[in-house]
Amino acid sequence: MRAGATSLVLLMAFSTEFVNAIEQPEFELIEEVGELEIRKYQPQILARTLVTGSFSESGNQGFRRLAGYIFGGNVQDQKIAMTAPVGLQSHDETATESQYWITFNMPGKYAVDELPVPNDNRIEIIEVPERYLAVLRYKGNWSEERYRIHEAQLLSLIDKDAFWIKQGDPSWSRYNPPIMPSFMRTNEVAIEVSPATQEEN
């Protein structure tokens, strides 16, 4: 099957599956200051793949690769329910070129050793511990320019917050399928944070 036809099949399957994509990672809202939220997330299991390319190319390529995995591209030929967000993208901190991790959250019913093994060895299954994320939600298209505007806004808000310290690089989450009109799409930019320690008097 040609690449274009494969992408169309995945898009159609994805659009159908998304109707039932109601599961999202569990979190506790710790603090809300204006548009900024500090969330405490429970441990999560993720499927992720490292892609080299531009911001938009990496997101599209990684999405297709991971969508193939959950739609049966694994040694058990097993389908895995789609969750939201439908794609998380973050820069690889160790990269010397344009490389991005593209990530899908796995349904909460699975343990790491219960998930089917991907046919594509570029996909890995990992578990992340409980963590705090600073999150800024916004509406609109998936352009890198729009993402960068909100990334800068998020980092500025955290730098002004004396109670939280940013860790690592920001990530970008998309909550809607590609068929959703761009002005209706919900997106989030987030970064891991840790509580600032109080200096002893």
What class does CATH assign to 3-195? alpha beta
Terminus-to-terminus CA distance in the chain, angstroms?
A: 68
pLDDT tens column, 78-121: 999 989 898 899 988 776 678 999 999 999 999 999 999 999 99
Give burial (CB, 10 Å; 0-12/13-18/19+) of 76: exposed
Parse the chain into domains and list their residue ranges.
3-195
Q: What is the pTM of this model?
A: 0.83
